[in-house]
Amino acid sequence: MNILLQWAPFMPPAASHNAGNVDNLYGFIFWLSVVFFILVIGPGAWFVYKYRLKPGESHKPTPRITHHLGLELTWSIIPLLLCIVIAVWGFWDFMALGVSPADAEEIYVTGYKWGWRFEHRDGTKELNELHLPEGKKIKVIMTAEDVIHSFFVPDFRVKQDLPPGRYTTLWFEPKGVGEHQVFCTEYCGDGHSGMLAKIIVQPKEKYEEWIKVGTPLAQGETLEDRGKKLYSDKGCATCHSVDGSKLTGPSFKAIYGNPQPLIDGSNVNVDENFLRESILNPQAKVAQGYPPVMPSYQGALKEMDLNALIAYIKSLK
């Protein structure tokens, strides 16, 4: 019952500086709707009860009330005024969401079937993860490679479509540190619901360490463990299964050490070098029976990440 104590029920945590404003209006509309719902359904329910034909009675003549100008004006004008308030309020905050401040850090985002590529100003590339330092305003400049995608961060209350062939932007200022889910919210095909990313906001020192070496292995974490995590975080799982089932790309199960037919008719032995090449330059040798659609991960994986992924693929016997 703590819904009744919340101003903006069911909304996710408000983790950006603008989220609170959106929640204020959401809450205002929510509670206004509750009031209006009661104002409509309350009298309706009362009339249904009060003026029901009781068992055994027959219809009595009802008064022929055809209209009442005052009443009708009241229930037209009051909602109209409230609607104008909401429209202006919504537009006001919409402009605040839309106009990015001049001192915002710029990040380039590309949506593709089915993943997110983030490019920092210093050339660092990331896939399906965006590391950010704490306390910065961030402006994202977005486009799509193939079809329309949409960048949605519920915790920040921001969403913007990425039409191919042009740029759209949005901005946010994360509050504190933490991880935030990114969804694609424009239907884009079979991998639509797997087109996810994480925004990871870190303290400045940790962020700088990450820029240099990537995320160090945790205590007790093996290279295979890390590879497994990368496999799901970096979008490999969208096209490559680990149980042998055929998706857009070949399954990783028992791929290592076995010959792989290619589209040019030749065979290649799957070893570390082939795996490395296929990750960084996928079009060089395309597996037979699969479309040549994999994007390059050049620059998007640190050296250790590559080792970890290859170690994981090797472990799938």
Q: What letter represents residue 187's amino acid?
A: Y
21 vs 278 by CB, closer to other proteins: 21
Pairing of strands 138-144, 168-172: antiparallel
4 binds other proteins (CB under 8 A): no
Site for other proteins in 188-207 (CB under 8 A): 188-194
Site for other proteins in 151-180 (CB under 8 A): 152, 154-155, 157-161, 163-166, 168
Candidate residues 108, 183, 274, 290; the one interacting with other proteins per rule CB under 8 A: 183
51 vs 317 by CB, closer to other proteins: 51
Q: How far is the CB of 100 from other proteins (least distance, A)?
A: 13
Q: How far is the CB of 186 from other proteins (least distance, A)?
A: 7
Token pair in block for residue 10: 């069911």
Using alpha carbons, select from 174, 196, 314 the residue that is nearest to residue 255: 314
The DSSP result for 265-293, as a single string, is S-EEE--HHHHHHHHH-TTSSPBTTS-S-
Cis-peptide, bond into residue 7, ω within 30° of zero: no
310 binds other proteins (CB under 8 A): no
Q: How far is the CB of 193 from other proteins (least distance, A)?
A: 4
Q: What is the spatial distance between Cα 169 and Cα 188, in angstroms, rounded to a whole number?
A: 20
Site for other proteins in 254-293 (CB under 8 A): none
Pairing of strands 158-162, 129-133: unpaired
Token pair in block for residue 113: 């079937």
99 vs 213 by CB, closer to other proteins: 99
Which residues partner with 196 through β-bridges? 183
- Among the listed ranges 36-44, 131-139, 260-268, 299-307, the one in contact with other proteins (CB under 8 A) is 36-44
Number of residues that bind other proteins (CB under 8 A): 83
Residue where the block lists tokens 């935030």: 180
232 binds other proteins (CB under 8 A): no
Q: At 129, phi and psi to the nearest 5?
A: -145, 140
Site for other proteins in 97-136 (CB under 8 A): 97-98
Q: How far is the CB of 201 from other proteins (least distance, A)?
A: 17
55 binds other proteins (CB under 8 A): no
Alpha-carbon separation of residue 224 from 132, 230, 249, 272 (angstroms): 26, 10, 21, 14
- Among the listed ranges 128-136, 182-190, 200-208, 228-236, the one in contact with other proteins (CB under 8 A) is 182-190
Candidate residues 7, 31, 83, 135; the one interacting with other proteins per rule CB under 8 A: 83
Q: How far is the CB of 224 from other proteins (least distance, A)?
A: 23
Positive/negative CA dihedral, 130, 150, 143, 287: positive
147 binds other proteins (CB under 8 A): yes
303-315 and 223-233 helices, crossing angle to 10°: 100
